[in-house]
Structure 1
């Protein structure tokens, strides 16, 4: 008889012996995409539809039906495997126990969110992103969508499967969802050219900060993947393109979505050229600089052509250079310099 403590420990270790089938993993990827699409659809509705003062909306329906589908899929899979003789804490493939836990947590968070709305009303703008129930939903969603990535991480093999790449893109999209108040593809602060001097200065700060944060999130996810996998060509294009499509749709900046895709393609070409990885540290550092620089430069150039930017050259070049510096600094978290030998004699 397995104790509750051992059961809980194994549940969080999430290293069961069952290997996921391709059908299982692609189903999970599709359901996670459904969930993330529902989240961004709900965010779009809050931005564009007036008087959205109720918890019961079609947009919440898409979001929570996605959660229900994930919970049902994982729950049925676990019960089937338990009936085949597997212990309950090992009834899902490695990496997916935490996804099931996240689905349960999301349901609990949704109930708390409904009570929160009934008591405090419907939040708007920044308050809607950082309210405690929504932060709980972010944690739960992160556990869910990272399932295919966790599963691939724990299997042998150095090449990343596409399910892991899409999972990483959904993970990135979960993070950018809660940073949408200052995302370059959502609010093009860099293109603001009119207003009082103090307002322009404030918008310049937001524009540069948005580029910095998006660079950190995107580059961090890519470097995390490179610390474990060889990425197939097109991985960064898919990762950036999917995230860009979700972000660009929030304020209907559809013309920026191809920019994100082209930026991802440029990063993929850098990847092919340099072949960065833990064993090619110099290439990793160079790639971590060139990738963000290329993406940031392309974004600002496109804004200049289509909307116009009144930034001085200092801000132009400075924001591009800072994005490259952020990439290099993050690369040191992926592969740190060798440690000096310890003096055991002393």
Structure 2
């Protein structure tokens, strides 16, 4: 597909993803919902309709041009095409589920079978531009930001879906004061997260520490995936992190804005690291170094911003000094898992299939 076609697919996917964010905001911040038919569901499902219609239209154009069977499906678009009827079926099942059993209002929303079906098929649809660019022969190993933009948007919005369904372990939900207080005590306070909404102020260090591990993996993994295929142009990680923080921002009504902004800054720092280290599948040492340093810098900023806006440094130094080190080691481990062996240029082309 042409870059312009992929960009339209990505932009329509934003409509789709934004609809889910609005729905997540409603479930987290409004009073108990009693019906499936809501304005935010209208935005969500209309987004599905327009992006699905666009994908089907691309296939139909090829059919009219004389292509038959799978040859009519643009490269990278097959997964999204197959997910369209599956998403519609899960949407119908979700409506029936809510009609019979009611609307979920707490952590059970993330374990509903119909919701899990919707999120998996939605991921296949909105990552269509990523698969298209990944397999495009004219996208070289050092693409410009504009050429890679559809893929970045698709993968970033897909990551927000993962963060949504793991939001009970999302470190971006905590406010600065809660982070400082948590790292000022070594014992768990016993306070439990309240569904997908804002975290309580009294929360134990163990909960924040576990959430940092989960979020570290969720945020860094997509970047490491892309770095196996391309040397990312400057601004790529900043853009992706700016999109990724929108989901926890919507769920908390952006009441934890300093923490969200710390991740956008962390994306900028990661872009600087990419420019300096030039990590790639062929440069394993640089790839590993980036994974560890990016993770450590991200969570140093997280704790630093929390301290600056939440009342000062935590009183347990082992916690706030060691947490970025743990994050860096986890990042290094992720780097080794994503790239255990250096990928030669010839194997790198093979990875595109």
Same fold, judged at TM 0.5 (above): yes
Structure 1 equivalent of residue 274 of structure 2: 271
What CA distance in whole angstroms lies between the structure 1 residues aligned with 2:22 and 2:174? Answer: 17
Structure 2 equivalent of residue 330 of structure 1: 334
Q: Which runs of 5+ in 2 are unaligned?
A: 192-201, 343-353
Task: Identify which of 182, 186, 189 aligns with 2:173.
Answer: 186
Structure 1 equivalent of residue 345 of structure 2: none
Verify the 8 A CA contact 1:248 1:256 in the aligned structure 2. no
Relative to the length of structure 2, the TM-score reads 0.85
Relative to the length of structure 1, the TM-score reads 0.87
What CA distance in whole angstroms lies between the structure 2 residues aligned with 1:139 and 1:169? Answer: 15
Distance 1:86 1:192, change over 3 A: farther
Distance 1:197 1:173, change over 3 A: closer
Distance 1:146 1:225, change over 3 A: same
Give the RMSD, CA atoms, in angstroms. Answer: 2.1
Task: Find out whether 1:130 has 2:111 as its counterpart.
Answer: yes
What CA distance in whole angstroms lies between the structure 2 residues aligned with 1:214 and 1:102? Answer: 27
Structure 2 equivalent of residue 315 of structure 1: 319
Distance 1:202 1:185, change over 3 A: closer
Q: Deviations over 1:157-213 (max 9, x none)?
A: 213422112222112112112112221222335244699963269632221111111
Verify the 8 A CA contact 2:238 2:264 in the aligned structure 1. yes
Once the two structures are superposed, the pairs formed by residues 202-241 of structure 1 within 5 Å of their partners are 203-241=204-242
Structure 2 equivalent of residue 176 of structure 1: 163
Verify the 8 A CA contact 2:159 2:244 in the aligned structure 1. yes
Q: Deviations over 1:67-105 (max 9, x none)?
A: 011111111221221011111323231111111222221
Q: How far apart are 1:318 and its partner, in Å?
A: 2.5
Task: Identify which of 49, 64, 73 aligns with 2:30.
Answer: 49
Higher normalized contact order (CA 8 Å, seq sep 6+, divided by chain length)? 2
Structure 1 equivalent of residue 197 of structure 2: none
Count of residues in correspondence between the two structures: 320
Q: How far apart are 1:246 and its partner, in Å?
A: 3.1
Verify the 8 A CA contact 1:181 1:187 in the aligned structure 2. no
